[in-house]
Structure 1
Amino acid sequence: MLFDRVRPSLHLAAAKPVLASLLLFFQVTPHPEASPQHFRYERTIRLPTSVTPLVGETCAVLDASVFTHASPSLKDLRIYARNTEAGRPEIPYAITLSEPLQQDTDDARILNLGTRSGHIVFDLAMPSRPYTAVALDLDAHDFIATAEVSGSQQLSAPQPTSLGSFTLFDLASQHLSHSTSLPLSESSFPYLHIDLSLAPAPGTSGTAASLNRPEIVKSASVPPSREAQTLYTTLQQTSAVIQRGRESVATFQVPARVPIERIAFTLAPGYKGSFSRAVRLEARVIPGKNPDPTVDSAPEDDTPPSAETSTGTILSVHKLEAGREIAQEDLAIPTAIGANMQHFAELQVAIDNGDDTPLPIASVQLQMRQRRICFDATVATNQPLQLFYGDSTLEAPIYDYAKLFKPSATPLIATLAPEASNPTYTPRTDTRPFTERHPELLWIVLLAVVCILALTAFRSAKKLPR
């Protein structure tokens, strides 16, 4: 072919501009060093004053402002001591995320299942850890039950410790919920004894004899204790709930990068109604809108989804049935609104009331799992500390402290002062290579190189002997 006849030396000479262009455009830019004057925001860390001297792990809860104004993944957070003789030393830290201490639900083994005086009786062999609840799997519907619970160190103990009397229920025919969980005070008895008496719910056709059969007890499980449950931080809340048709709607303006992981509702004080309502969550991204000019907007080619929806249910049961008080509430919905992670969004929380009276909602809260920033308080003795963020050029720090960090069950608690603009803020000088600041030149150079190669090949072909 024609181009195969071009001399290699001409090809090499023509390739030199290409190599030079590649070297030009792939220069390695060193990561900038963190410095207090290049952060837009600062927060004073208020250390505990009731403990002297400060020794060991100290943690402060992070709020929504940090997520809104810091870089994604909080990679630009830095802690500095205020001016000292040694300057402003950087304090290593680690960030924790609240999660249950026991990740798994344990099974409780059912022993000695039978009946006594028309009641179902059985023992449970409990896991070897503290617990605050036992969930029973009962194969029965439309009932109200009383469970007498006692604990002991051994089976068939002559004098077990009473743990209380609890009401279980299933009100499926009334389109309400059911509860077969025993809410205990924190206990650690190896064995529990259960005396369970079921009665048909009012208005149903069942009988006590048909319900009080040992075979309805299928299994028992032990969830993580309440003390081990996830902690949440309220990011925003509103009492402005409007009626729109059959829905009660609360609207939030959610800044970019704020993780929304639970929606919680508070009812008006004294309200004891029974209900089960569907809830719809819709996060709608507002393209190009950024309420904070100091926060970088999402890249134009990173087109977010126009809307994201999820659903859940809230319920409350407060009834007096067959002389027994039934009380249960679940007024929180877990969620993960991905649209809020990197883009400004409007979030609507809509409760479907159907034909029922709207609920007296006192407030709606957006919550996230609690995040804490933790550091060694020993280094902070007599050194006021400040948290800085708002420098998008920084990479995440690498600390040995974070690599070796193991959260304490009882850390010292610090707090963050309100966010303030850094009075010494100085914008960074753009030290990127000219080609990084003007990436469009890449296409111009490549086009020029292609033209040069084509012209060189054409001229070389004309000089070849025929």
Structure 2
Amino acid sequence: MKFAILLALLLWQAGPETTTPQYLRYQRIVAPSDPGQNCAVIDPQLFPHAAPSLKDLRLFGDNHEVPYAITLSEPQQPDSDTATIRNLGLRGRKIVFDLEMPNRPYTEIDLALAGHDFLATATVFGTRNPNYSNQTHLGDYTLFDLTTQHLSRNTSIHLQETSLPYLHVELAISPAAGASASSLTPEALQKLVQGVTIPPSREAQSIYTTAARSVVTQRGRQSIASFALPERIPIERVSFDLAPTYKANFSRDVHITDHPDGTANPASSASETLVGTILRVHLTQAGREIRQEQLSIPATLGSNMQSEATVQVAVENGDDTPLPITGVRLEMRQRKICFDAPNERPLTLYYGDPALTAPQYDYARLFSLSSAVHTAQLGRERLNVLYHDRPDARPLTERRPHLLWIILLVVICILAIVAIRSSKHIHH
């Protein structure tokens, strides 16, 4: 029995860790601007020294732990909706149709058009009447497909934000330069509109924070930017800066590759390769002005992992002159730490203790942004002068695994001696 008790004590697991600032290696001052709800932007430099998913962040004020919530910038309407097409038909050489829109604000209409090599003017009207009367003119928009000219395609209508439930659209389509007019027969026109998608409103889109910046170098037909990315920084977009004097049109494919540092063969160990396109179309064709620009690419990289990584962004120039790219940025969606401040006295944010688990605050579960939220300032990272290592809370058998075998051997020997003595006693 004594041996069983001893073994149980050796295998005993320590209780849950306590949250105390002296076990957290880093600290930063958080300065509220006013009493009440405050939010401070979390910068990328916090991620490498914090635990994964920021689970070890602890906020203290007046020697008391202060509950908080972390917000992530994202569209209020994260997914696209579809609009219902009604009354599709022809009016002369125009395609006309009505749209029943989703019940939310919107700023964009993406038309799935089957045609190629065309220019179109989309005239859009809006109304709140289900019979489509009393319409308001919302604007005229140019749509185009210039892929045979090695440029781009745009079939999106960009509006001012509105929540009108019903729209009427008139499409006047003509062939682009070099295209055949015979392809735009009445039958083909009527089949042109295949669907309508409504993305999230631009007014509710994500806000991004720059995590890393690099210049480009030329390597053959590629313009390449390389980044040494610290561990655990979440990258969700890549953006490009062009020289402000550059006004030419272009369309270039982009390859984004990342791999963990310390690998023998980076090419074979690349965790992911993403492909996107940057473009600009500023021109006038057939009397219509065309304006489209895309200098950012969504990119959730596999380097959002627990080691440092190298990220390479390559712009494929082909036979064209390299673009005058002045900088490439790796960006993450903006994150904030929000809390209620009883006064304007600074608080302290501690982190850097991998033994901690994520806190469970009622404040975070019930959190909602106030209409009068204040901006708090997050100070520079400093070492916690009170820091010392957390006592090793692992069971003794994990810290010194050889002890378990020694104890088991001792127990077996003792049991064997007891058995031998018992056997001799029986024979006597």
Tell me which interval the TM-score lies in, with the shorter structure as reference length: 0.7 to 0.9
Larger deviation, residues 451-460 vs 113-122: 451-460
1:215 aligns with 2:191: yes
Q: State the partner residue of 1:26.
A: 11
Distance in 1 between residues matched to 2:372 and 2:92, nearest whole Å: 48
The C-alpha deviation readout for 1:209-254, integer Å capped at 9, x for no partner, is 427722211221211111222222211112x211112221111111
Does 2:386 align with 1:411?
A: no
Aligned length: 420
Q: Relative to structure 2, which stretch is displaced further, 382-391 or 122-131?
A: 382-391
The Cα shift of 1:417 comes to 2.0
Aligned to 1:426: 387
Q: Deviations over 1:417-464 (max 9, x none)?
A: 222233x33313524367267344257437846974997799799989
Q: Is the 8 A contact 1:177 1:315 kept in 2?
A: no
Q: Deviations over 1:72-126 (max 9, x none)?
A: 2212111112x4xxxx221111112222211332221222222223211122111
> Contact 2:113/2:195 (CA < 8 Å) preserved in 1?
yes
- Call closer, same or farther: CA 1:71–1:113 in 2, change over 3 Å: same
CA spacing shift, 1:31–1:208, aligned 2, 3 Å: same
3-state SS of 2:60 partner: strand
C-alpha contact (below 8 Å) 2:397/2:403 kept by paired residues: no
Runs of 4+ in structure 1 displaced over 6 angstroms?
453-465
Measured in 2, the distance between the counterparts of 1:282 and 1:457 equals 67
Distance 2:340 2:262 in 1: 42
Residues of 2 paired with 1:224 and 1:100: CA distance?
7
Give the structure 2 partner of residue 445 of structure 1.
Answer: 406
1:224 to 200, 221, 246: 200
Within-5 A mapping of 1:201-212: 201-207=176-182, 209-210=184-185
1:236 touches 1:365 (CA, 8 Å); kept in 2?
yes
Give a deviation string over 1:51-92, Cα, whole Å, max 9, x none: xxx33x3222211121111112212111112x4xxxx22111
Q: Distance in 2 between matches of 1:388 and 1:395?
A: 14
Return the offset for 1:282.
2.2
SS in 2 for 1:284: strand
Given that 1:137 and 1:219 are in contact with CA atoms closer than 8 Å, whether structure 2 keeps it comes out as yes
The one-letter code of the counterpart of 1:313 is G
Q: Secondary structure at the match of 2:377?
A: strand
CA apart distance, 1:287: 3.4
- The residue that corresponds to 1:301 in the other structure is none
Shift of 1:355: 2.0
Match for 1:131 among 93, 106, 112? 106
Alignment of 1:135-214 (within 5 A): 135-154=110-129, 159-207=134-182, 209-210=184-185, 213-214=189-190
**1:316 corresponds to:** 279
Distance 2:349 2:160 in 1: 39
Long gaps (5+) in structure 2: none
| Alignment partners' CA distance in 2, 1:428 and 1:172 | 62
Question: Can you give the 5+ residue segments of structure 1 that lack an aligned partner in the other structure?
Answer: 1-12, 289-304
**More divergent stretch after superposition (183-192 vs 366-375):** 366-375
Over residues 297-356 of structure 1, what are the superposed CA-to-partner deviations in whole Å (9 max), with x where a residue is unaligned? Answer: xxxxxxxx9431212122313232222222222222222323342001111112222222
Where do residues 56-95 of structure 1 align in structure 2 (5 Å cutoff)?
A: 57-81=37-61, 83=62, 88-95=63-70
Deviation at 1:174, TM superposition (A): 2.5
Quote the Cα distance in structure 2 between the aligned partners of 1:460 and 1:278.
Answer: 84
1:332 matched to 2:296? The reply is: yes
Inter-CA distance 455–169: structure 2 relative to 1 (3 Å threshold): farther
1:250 aligns with 2:216: no
Farther-moved stretch of structure 1 (260-269 vs 21-30): 21-30
State the identity %.
45
Alpha-carbon displacement from aligned partner over 1:350-385 (angstroms, at most 9, x marks no partner): 2222222212112111112222111123x2x14322
Give me the whole-angstrom Cα distance separating, in 1, the residues matched to 2:410 and 2:145. Answer: 77
> Any conservation in 1 of the 2:141–2:157 contact (CA below 8 Å)?
yes
Letter in 2 for 1:314: T
Other-structure match for 2:89: 114
Per-residue deviation, 1:131: 0.7
Q: Are the counterparts in 1 of residues 397 and 404 from structure 2 also a CA contact under 8 Å?
A: no
Q: Give the alignment of 1:296-311 within 5 angstroms.
A: 306-311=269-274
Q: Of 354, 358, 364, which residue of structure 1 is paired with 2:322?
A: 358
* Counterpart-to-counterpart distance in 1, 2:407 and 2:269: 36
Q: Confirm whether residue 262 of structure 1 aligns to residue 237 of structure 2.
A: yes
In the alignment, does 2:331 pair up with 1:346?
A: no
What residue in structure 1 maps to residue 79 of structure 2? Answer: 104
Partner of 1:10: none
Residue identity matched to 2:332: M
Cα root mean square deviation, aligned: 3.0
1:132 aligns to what SS in structure 2? strand
Instruction: Specify the alignment match of 2:258 in structure 1.
Output: 283
1:390 aligns with 2:366: no
Deviation at 1:402, TM superposition (A): 1.6
Distance 1:268 1:146 in 2: 31
Tell me the residue number matched to 2:212.
Answer: 236
TM-score by length of 1: 0.81
Q: Check whether the contact 1:317–1:326 (CA below 8 A) recurs between aligned residues.
A: no
Task: Indicate if the aligned counterparts of 2:278 and 2:296 stay in contact, CA closer than 8 A.
Answer: no
**Whole-angstrom distance in 1 between the partners of 2:289 and 2:407:** 79
